[in-house]
Amino acid sequence: MISIHNEPQPTDLGDVRVANRAVVLRHVRLHAPCSRADIAAATGLNKATVSSLVTELLDRRLVRETGLTGNRVGRPATMLVLDGAPYAALGLQIGADDLVVVAVDPGGNRLLTWRRAFPAPTVSPADTVRALVTLARRAIGRVTGQGRTVLGLTVGVPGLVDTAGGVPLASGLGWRDVPLAADLRAALRETGFTVTVDTDANLAVLAEQRHGAYAGATDLVHVTGGLSVGAGVLAGGRLLRGGRGHAGELGHLCLDPAGPPCPCGRRGCLAASTALPAVVARLLPDATRDGPVTDYLPELDRIVASARQEEPAVLAGLAEIGRQLGHGASVLANLLNPEAIVVGGHFATLAPWLLPTARAELVARTLAPQAGGCRLDASTLDSAATALGGATAALATIEAGRLPAG
């Protein structure tokens, strides 16, 4: 196996220090409580380097000391743990019928998860920005009231996001060419922290990598279920973004040129049969009788109730939607060969009825034996996976070994 790095970069002692700071922080995150000697032994860094790095981290309150332990050979050592108290990172998501904000501390502990009903597809981009900013300000107020400094804020969008944080297209929302990151920064004014935008799927897979059932996997896909169907792809431990940041567009994969028409104008798209509006329209033909659905939760509850009562039409419909989901998963498995594909949103809610046919289809359509080792599972994260991933992403600079300002 060959690893080609395209552009070797000059390295200096400052970079070494940053890299080693990241190593120390990671060790404390995974193995706390631990002593300086534990860190040196486990990482191979020398004790003086570890001591110097820990002093800095104590100074910025990224780690703290937590008393002595005598439970070992030799003299007692001062133990270290992550210090979550002085900082917070925020993530927000635009869902099918809600906005969600999550705040986490640098240890990844959730500080808050707030959700408000919001019929995003019927609201203009400008009003959506206002609603996001209102929710973000409340969360910022809460965490700063706890004495925390906000490190960053990331918003996840169900659509294409460009490298400047703009949204060229989010068909589920009816958006085109919305400069979302710029609008958010303008509305939030001088924040002193970074404000970024990413796709909901990219953020969800970051949440999976840190908090999900496949935490730590290097080749992992999260497929979002909701207004649209997207893939967040980790390949070799890194987010796969592509040249313009548009990688992971799965929803308009053509499953069948003779398939049903899709709102995008094509036929037979994966989203046309498996996105949340299509699933509701198929399984609950009466749901849109009084106009478009803006609150999906009760409709999903009705589908689950019908499936539990084994209504034949609903079970057959779910089995067929599962086959289509599995067909989409097989394209991911053939091209990306991930260790696992994790499905979120309504796919996770309906997983007991979708996954049997989806898994069979995945294996049947993947060339490598046993789907190349790829598992297909429901996300174990709740429906705030994107917001959690956004908060996780906002911690990335610190975790890469950069110190917070101040």
Residues 308-347 interacting with a second copy (rule: CB under 8 A): 327, 331-332, 334-339
Q: Which of residues 103-142 bind a second copy (CB under 8 A)?
A: none
| Minimum distance, C-beta of residue 344 to a second copy, in the bound complex (Å) | 18
Q: Is 52 in the site for a second copy (CB under 8 A)?
A: no
CA pair distance 337, 367, nearest whole angstrom: 10
CB of 23 or CB of 350, closer to a second copy = 23
| Minimum distance, C-beta of residue 182 to a second copy, in the bound complex (Å) | 15
Q: Which of residues 201-230 bind a second copy (CB under 8 A)?
A: 202, 206, 209, 216-219
Q: Is 405 in the site for a second copy (CB under 8 A)?
A: no
Q: Could you say which of 3, 75, 189, 312 contacts a second copy (CB under 8 A)?
A: 3
Q: Give the ranges where 284-344 is alpha helix by DSSP (H).
A: 296-308, 312-336
Mark 236-275 with x for binding to a second copy (rule: CB under 8 A) and - for no binding. Answer: xxxxxxxxxxxxxxxxxxxxxxx-----x-x---------
Q: Is 368 in the site for a second copy (CB under 8 A)?
A: yes
Q: Could you say which of 32, 235, 304, 319 contacts a second copy (CB under 8 A)?
A: 235
Q: Is 369 in the site for a second copy (CB under 8 A)?
A: yes
Q: Are 128 and 94 in contact (CB under 8 A)?
A: yes
CA pair distance 80, 170, nearest whole angstrom: 45
DSSP conformation letters of 83-135: --TTEEEEEEEE-SSEEEEEEE-TT--EEEEEEEE--GGGS-HHHHHHHHHHH
Q: Could you say which of 67, 367, 405, 406 contacts a second copy (CB under 8 A)?
A: 367
Q: Are 167 and 155 in contact (CB under 8 A)?
A: no
CB of 94 or CB of 287, closer to a second copy = 94
| Minimum distance, C-beta of residue 1 to a second copy, in the bound complex (Å) | 6
DSSP conformation letters of 228-271: S--EEEEETTEE---TTS-TT--TT-BS-TTS-B-TTS-BSBHH
What does residue 359 show for φ and ψ, rounded to 5 degrees? Answer: -65, -40
